[in-house]
Amino acid sequence: MRRAILAIVSTTAALVMILSFKTHGTAPVTTPPAAVSSTGTSSGSTTSSSSSTTASTSTGTKTVTGNAVDTQYGPVQVQVTVTNGKVTSATAVDYPQNSPRDQEINAYAIPTLNQEATQTGTANIDMVSGATYTSEGYIQSLQSALNKA
Amino acid sequence: MTTPMIEHPRTLHVEHSMGTVFTIDIRDGGAWAAAIADVCTWLHRVDRVFSTYRDDSEICRIQRGELAVADADPDVAVVLDECARLQRQTAGYFTAVYAAKLDPTGFVKGWAIERASAMLRAHGSRNHAVNGGGDVQAAGEAAPGQPWRIGITDPHGRARVRDVVSGRDFAVATSGVAERGAHIINPFSGVAATELASVTVVGPSLTIADVYATAAFAMGDNAVRWLQRQPAYDGLVVDADGHAHTTSGWTSAAA
């Protein structure tokens, strides 16, 4: 039972981690976020092998919904809210809730997810150093996630 | 509910070269297309001259005896001289010539990135970072009053950040097995080094940091002890069991 909770939490937390590496925070949080709302845009840039994008990093709140991930307990999809470059809340928008046991797990897992995601978001990094990736490896790299943030 | 917006300029460019991906992130206002074009031309030129994967590169032609160093691109002599100097400085653990094969690629990428940053400065950019496949040269700040924050990937789980370093005008290089397997040969034993999972070196020059990271990786268990003796550079070593070891000057900026 406890293992089941942890499995869901770690799967979703890993997904949140990828989403939460916003390019860069520019100011301390001054205004509480409106949960699951979008009141500002961050750098809305996409990149490709031979094009440049000019954008602005910004303070403000933005909400990102991750792809649904199939876990052994059913699909899990997470939505995070980023304010001034930090994850300020996370919500599971799709998760297993068919059985009473699912509901019991989620009563514990969702608040934990929210707490873990918020802590992870404080990493708040601009660039990533690691062992040299290949062109293919780049696609799965944290730097690639940052460049899309 | 609207949050006040503070805009900071940012120009981001991603370029594939040398079998990896370069990220150029400029945090100064203005138009940077010409500067970025210059940098990309430079990166591709370095690849054409120094690649050991291209039969027609000058390095391959020198290896086959078809081209003399004196007749090659002037940067070839510069690079080979620097490699020889760094070989002595790393007690032979870094070398551009192994088993009678000329291979300066362990030097070239970091050097090319550091030069790319110098080119951006020459174009007037004071605040930028250039990342080539996981090796970063950062100039100035990420935003006014905010130093750059560079995350270091966990070699045992590349979606995780193991530590964060922060600063202005500094470089971060990492050597490890997480992306391409055991590929760093200990030149004294002749086999791939496997004691460590990754070595990260922080200091002013990416060229030096990158070579130190590779040499320290090849040293295995002596990596931290050797890095401790290198002035102006600090290191984070993650061993094969996942334990972290740092030099005394290592300063984590992890939250």
Question: With the CA atoms of B112, B113, B119 and B124 taken in that order, what torsion angle do they form, in degrees rounded to the nearest 10?
Answer: 180
User: How far is B2 from chain A, CA to nearest CA, in Å?
Assistant: 6
- Look at residue B248 and tell me whether its pLDDT is greater than 80: yes
Residues A129, B173: C-beta atoms closer than 8 Å = yes
pLDDT at A140: 78
Least confident of A67-81, B2-16, B174-188: A67-81
Segment B3-30 mean pLDDT? 88
**Pairwise pLDDT comparison (B17 vs A99), residue with the higher score:** B17
Three-state DSSP at A138 gives helix
- Look at residue A90 and tell me whether its pLDDT is greater than 80: no
Say what percent of chain B tops pLDDT 90. Answer: 91
- What token pair was written down for B9? 């300029």
**Pairwise pLDDT comparison (A104 vs B247), residue with the higher score:** B247
B125 contacts chain A (CB < 8 A) = no
Segment A16-26 mean pLDDT? 36
Write a three-state SS string for chain B. CCCCCCEEEEEEEEEEECCEEEEEEECCCCCCHHHHHHHHHHHHHHHHHHCCCCCCCHHHHHHCCCCCHHHCCHHHHHHHHHHHHHHHHCCCCCCCEECCEECCHHHHHHHHHHHHHHHHHHCCCCCEEEEECCEEEEECCCECCECEEEEEEECCEEEEEEEEEEECCEEEEEEECCCCCCCCECCCCCCECCCEEEEEEEECCHHHHHHHHHHHHHHHHHHHHHHHCCCCCEEEEEECCCCEEECCCCCCCCC
In the block, tokens 């922060």 appear at B166
CA B55 to chain centre: 24
Which residues in chain B are closer than 8 Å to A26, comparing Cβ atoms?
6, 8, 143, 146
B21 contacts chain A (CB < 8 A) = yes
CA distances for B215 relative to B104, B114, B244, angstroms = 13, 19, 18
Segment B188-216 mean pLDDT? 96
- Look at residue B11 and tell me whether its pLDDT is greater than 70: yes
pLDDT at A10: 43
pLDDT at A41: 31
> Which of A132, A134, A141, A146 is the best substitution to test chain B (most B C-beta atoms within 10 A)?
A132
Do the beta carbons of residue B35 and residue B28 sit within 8 Å?
no
B4 contacts chain A (CB < 8 A) = yes
Closest by CA position to A39, among listed A62, A13, A70? A62
Across chain B, mean pLDDT equals 94
CA distances for B235 relative to B86, B113, B160, B180, angstroms = 17, 20, 19, 21
Segment B220-244 mean pLDDT? 97
In the block, tokens 């530590």 appear at B163
Which residues in chain A are closer than 8 Å to B180, comparing Cβ atoms?
131-134, 137
At B142, the pLDDT band (50, 70, 90 cuts) reads very high
Least confident of A25-29, B92-96, B146-150: A25-29
- Look at residue A86 and tell me whether its pLDDT is greater than 80: no
- Look at residue A42 and tell me whether its pLDDT is greater than 70: no
At B125, the pLDDT band (50, 70, 90 cuts) reads very high
Three-state DSSP at A147 gives helix
Residues B148, A50: C-beta atoms closer than 8 Å = no
How do residues A92-139 score in pLDDT, each as one tens digit? Answer: 667 766 777 666 666 655 555 555 444 444 358 899 999 998 888 888
At A146, the pLDDT band (50, 70, 90 cuts) reads confident
Cα distance between residue B8 and residue A146, in whole Å: 16
How do residues A52-81 score in pLDDT, each as one tens digit? Answer: 444 444 456 666 666 666 666 666 667 666
pTM of the model: 0.72
- Look at residue B87 and tell me whether its pLDDT is greater than 50: yes
pLDDT at A24: 33
**Pairwise pLDDT comparison (A101 vs B38), residue with the higher score:** B38
